[in-house]
Structure 1
Amino acid sequence: MPATLLFFFVGTVLYVYYKHNPADLSLTITDGDAILPWYIYSELPQGITGLLISGIFAAAMSTLSSSMNSAATAYIVDIHSKIVKRDSMNSLFAAKTATLLLGIAGIAFAYMMATWEIKSLWDEFNKILGIILGSLGGLFLLGMITRRANATGAVCGIAGSIIVQLVMIHFQYVHLLLYTTTGFISCFVIGYIASLIISGHKKNIDHLTIYKIFSKK
């Protein structure tokens, strides 16, 4: 919350500044996301401008590198190791290859987003979070508190949650801050119902759920 308040405080201060100094704002700026870069470029001293741009690049690079490495690690541990049984050297090469492919995919997606008519990066950010984090949260809850969840039901839950989220985003049934909530609930409900309908492998998974904690009491 402190970081969120700080970010919104910056936007509020910029709004107040240009409200009282409208002549300082370029008439060519029609996108609200461009106001902060314009302020950095036009109002701040050159040394401070360089430090801010360096900080933005450093933050972007660290975020992208950690995200690609985490995604590649998840792929190697959860998918690649189940398909190919090889030594650690081949796993390391596969992880590097996966990181490279994820980087290329990220660049392609960024280029595609640059061609969209985006009114607010904040809105798009919340939409993407709703699609990704909402379904993942529902998936973890499904695995932790239910005994009937299986792999097929989990996949159905994620797929169904993405479809629900796309419908919510298109018709705007809820506020954008609730996209993660609708993704969370839809993934859990669809995944649980699918697990009931489609039977999976029958094995004891109590040690993977909260029931292990209850059994000790």
Structure 2
Amino acid sequence: MNPVDLVIVIVYLAAMPVIGVLVGRRQKSANDYFVGERSMPWWAVTLSVVATETSTLTVISTPGLVFGSAFLFLEVAFGYIVGRVIAAFVLLPRYFRGNYVSAYEFLGRRFGRGLQGTASVTFVVTRLLAEGLRLFAGAIPIKAILGHYGIHTEYWHIVVLLTALTVVYAFVGGIKSVIWVDVIQWSLYILGAIGAVIFLSTKLPSGWTQIASSQGRFQLTDFTANLLTNPYAFLCAVVGGAFLSMASHGADQLIVGRLLSCRNLRDGQRALIGSSIVVFIQFALFLLVGAMLWVYAGGKTGATATAVAAGKMSGDDVFSNFIVNDLPVGLAGLLIAGILASTMGALASALNALSTSTIADLYQRFTHKSIEDAKLLRHGRMWTLIWAAVFAVFASMFTNSKDPVIQQGLGIVGYTYGALLGSFFLGLLVRKARQSDAVIAFACSVVGMAFLILFVKFDKATTDVHIRFGAATKTLVPLATYWYTFAGVLITLIVGGLLSLRRRGVDPNVEQVEEPAETTA
């Protein structure tokens, strides 16, 4: 890399905290800190949601998907649209009606504090695993750049630096700073991707689209793949993607917190549905980069495609190697800064979401204290600092881990998302269900998914079920990951529904969730 690229990265790292502090330095209240006094424009929230869900691994990995599965990932992105439309009209109105600052307040009002606390703790654990590892992944390109210039450092040094830079504006400005900095960071990596498309278009032969198409790189659907074990089988990708998106954007405080900062329900629905469309276009853009890289690298007979097909090279390395080795001066630095932007954006969002959930779902619910607004604001900022420290420590623990451990940690949502989303549906669909029914169903879902993920394998040829512990083999493979949330929801609804049959009447809490609740913060 050229020194100019390094300067771009350094300027970016220095500028983001400054901009975040300037945008959100005038915090007026706890409500301002947690949900921006519900005054954020929907289009900014849309881009913040997209930036929050886009990790370093997403930016790096998506172009490489073309080398293995063409454009089939867009099936999943279409499922995202379906899932977010449902969440926008089924779940989001409940949150705005209740004037909540946390999604789990709905569960507390519908079932009781026990389930609200259970959901919040589950969210905390899930975020620690997922965001801690995403933070570590963001340190990888910085270490590579520094090593190129002969500067040797440890991963944990970079993790601490990224956390410190991010917590500055998350601490001072709350959700407002997080959202506006997210908008800048989203723009940064999208501009980098567009720049890569423009650069590649000058290097490819005329008719390159026909070359890629003739080699199957533009395939959009797959109706022939095994429905249970292939994540890109059409029904698995669309239905599984829809349920995953309903959980991540309708039952996870990381995203719901941004939506609740909108001015009203209509704007929140625009932001949520708009994010699905932007994500679809974003994935299409990165997959387009991948298709262009396929032709640029020589197509099916090229060294890159051959190495990926033989398992000698990961698809994740395709875009990374191109950025470092082939992009012109300035554009490489912009894309590296964009990759770091995705890491810092996700971390800032996680810090704000964890702080909000800690105060609204745990502290206030279980202490029964009525706290004055200024003190509540101080508590929110204090927990932002605490969670930042925890993230830095947690991410540093994985600096000596091998890839399989990292991938397993990143897939932790498979254990919990079904239970979370299923609890919301249980509260909406099963009017007799009480808190004890919901808590037992929640626990059964988590345990059931752990058994399904760790022990259940399918014969690749016959789809026969085998109970085996350990890694997948050539013949025995696990259930496709996109089915995890769907399966977890089914377990929650079946167990909770059966337990509710012993009840004679409707749970009195059902009527409470239909009435406006008092503001928590």
| Counterpart mapping for 1:67-86 below 5 A | 67-84=350-367, 85=369, 86=371
Deviates more, 1:75-84 or 1:90-99: 90-99
Equivalents in 1 of 2:379, 2:502: separation in Å?
36
Q: Find the counterpart in structure 1 of residue 315 from structure 2.
A: 32
Q: Find the counterpart in structure 1 of residue 283 from structure 2.
A: 4
Q: Find the counterpart in structure 2 of residue 184 from structure 1.
A: 489
CA shift, 1:13, in A, is 4.1
Equivalents in 1 of 2:306, 2:334: separation in Å?
22
Alignment check: 8 A CA contact 1:131 1:179 kept: yes
Equivalents in 1 of 2:389, 2:437: separation in Å?
31
Q: Which runs of 5+ in 2 are unaligned?
A: 1-76, 78-279, 458-477, 515-521
Q: How many residues end up aligned between the 2 structures? A: 205
Question: What is the CA deviation profile of residues 40-71 of structure 1, one whole-angstrom value per residue up to 9, with x for unaligned ones?
Answer: 10111120011111122222212221222122
Equivalents in 2 of 1:23, 1:74: separation in Å?
45
Q: Find the counterpart in structure 2 of residue 118 from structure 1.
A: 404
Question: What is the CA deviation profile of residues 131-184 of structure 1, one whole-angstrom value per residue up to 9, with x for unaligned ones?
Answer: 343222111101111222233333323322222222222234521111111122
Matched to 2:319, the amino acid is: L
Q: Find the counterpart in structure 2 of residue 136 from structure 1.
A: 420
Matched to 1:55, the amino acid is: G
Equivalents in 2 of 1:95, 1:69: separation in Å?
9
Q: 1:78 to 1:56 in 2, by over 3 A?
A: same
Structure (1 or 2) with the greater helix fraction:
1
Q: Find the counterpart in structure 2 of residue 205 from structure 1.
A: 510
Equivalents in 2 of 1:131, 1:154: separation in Å?
17
Equivalents in 2 of 1:106, 1:194: separation in Å?
38
Q: Find the counterpart in structure 1 of residue 375 from structure 2.
A: 90
Question: Normalising by the residue count of structure 2, what TM-score does the alignment of the two structures yield?
Answer: 0.34
Q: 1:54 to 1:117 in 2, by over 3 A?
A: closer
CA shift, 1:120, in A, is 8.9
Deviates more, 1:11-20 or 1:31-40: 11-20
Equivalents in 2 of 1:66, 1:167: separation in Å?
31
CA shift, 1:26, in A, is 9.7
Matched to 2:445, the amino acid is: S
| Counterpart mapping for 1:166-181 below 5 A | 166-170=450-454, 171-172=456-457, 173-181=478-486
Alignment check: 8 A CA contact 2:433 2:507 kept: no
Matched to 2:496, the amino acid is: G
Q: Find the counterpart in structure 2 of residue 212 from structure 1.
A: none
CA shift, 1:15, in A, is 4.3
Equivalents in 1 of 2:290, 2:485: separation in Å?
24
Q: Which of 379, 387, 391 matches 1:106?
A: 391
Question: Normalising by the residue count of structure 1, what TM-score does the alignment of the two structures yield?
Answer: 0.74
RMSD, aligned CA: 3.5
| DSSP 3-state at the match of 1:64 | helix
Query: Are 2:323 and 1:44 aligned?
Result: no
CA shift, 1:204, in A, is 4.6
Q: Which of 12, 22, 26 matches 2:303?
A: 22
Alignment check: 8 A CA contact 2:448 2:491 kept: yes
Matched to 2:494, the amino acid is: V
Equivalents in 1 of 2:452, 2:295: separation in Å?
33
Q: Find the counterpart in structure 2 of residue 161 from structure 1.
A: 445
CA shift, 1:197, in A, is 6.4
CA shift, 1:207, in A, is 4.8
Q: 1:8 to 1:47 in 2, by over 3 A?
A: same
| DSSP 3-state at the match of 2:297 | helix
CA shift, 1:23, in A, is 7.3
Q: 1:107 to 1:8 in 2, by over 3 A?
A: farther
Equivalents in 1 of 2:452, 2:327: separation in Å?
41
CA shift, 1:108, in A, is 4.1
Q: Choose between structure 1 and 2 for higher RCO, CA contacts under 8 A separated by at least 6 residues.
A: 2
Question: What is the CA deviation profile of residues 18-56 of structure 1, one whole-angstrom value per residue up to 9, with x for unaligned ones?
Answer: 3544279999x7433232211110111120011111122
Equivalents in 1 of 2:412, 2:354: separation in Å?
16
Matched to 2:339, the amino acid is: I
Matched to 1:36, the amino acid is: F
Matched to 2:303, the amino acid is: P
Alignment check: 8 A CA contact 1:152 1:195 kept: no
Alignment check: 8 A CA contact 1:153 1:191 kept: yes
Q: Which runs of 5+ in 1 are unaligned?
A: 210-217
